[in-house]
Amino acid sequence: MPFRLRLAAVPTVVTAISAAFLLAACGDTAAPLCIPGQTAFCSCFDGAEGVWTCDRTGFYGLCDCSISTPADPVCGPGGQINDDDDFEELMYPGRDCIGCHLDENDKDEDEAPIYTAAGTVMPHLHYEDHCEGVEGVVVEITGADGEIVRLVSNRVGNFFTRRRIATPYTARVVTADSERLMTTPQHDLNCANCHTARGDEEAPGRIIPPP
């Protein structure tokens, strides 16, 4: 979960560099400022919210404004997914799969599968429900017992499992050459409860692939 840190895009770089010099002045080398893969909030020129990602050396880079909040968030090139529910694994990306399935089972005699963990990987922090997600991204969940569950997002970005996961857990989103970490241990395995289009419980928004 990102830190609640807000800095303007250009001052962000200056602040990081200044901090490094100040730390270096107190010793031989500058101490790392962050954990690689960790994210923080930063402000873009248009006042929108971007994301700052800690690099492998332990320092924050440029404010990524490519995923900042648009004035009216809409789906990107993938377009909006049809509300057709014929194929459940591709249903309603971005929505609350676990809660919806529980509700359906109350009404329809256990017709919907019950997942222990579920969510959607989106290409943008603030994509709305039903927007096309990102296929082929690995979501790795590490339970409190050290057991690792690896899931892969399908062609609309959905991922899910029925396997037991001990909480609190941590997670990371992985591509071939990069990763994005959620280092704060969590108890809620229903990712859609926090990773909404606007972000709840201090989440920045959707689950997105690493830069």
pLDDT tens for each residue of 130-139 = 888 999 999 9
Exposed e or buried b for every residue in 175-210, given b needs 16+ CB within 10 A? eeeeebbbeeebeebbbbbbbbbebeeebbbbbbbb
pLDDT at residue 188 tops 90: yes
Q: What is the mean pLDDT of residues 154-174?
A: 95
CATH code linked to domain 88-193 = 2.60.40
The whole-angstrom distance between residue 96's C-alpha and the CA centroid of its chain comes to: 15
Measured CA to CA, the distance from residue 67 to residue 123 in angstroms comes to 8
Domain coordinates in residue numbering, the chain: 9-67, 88-193
pLDDT tens-digit readout, 32-69: 578 887 777 676 665 566 777 888 888 877 777 765 54
| Mean pLDDT score, 186-192 | 95
Q: What is the average pLDDT across 57-82?
A: 66
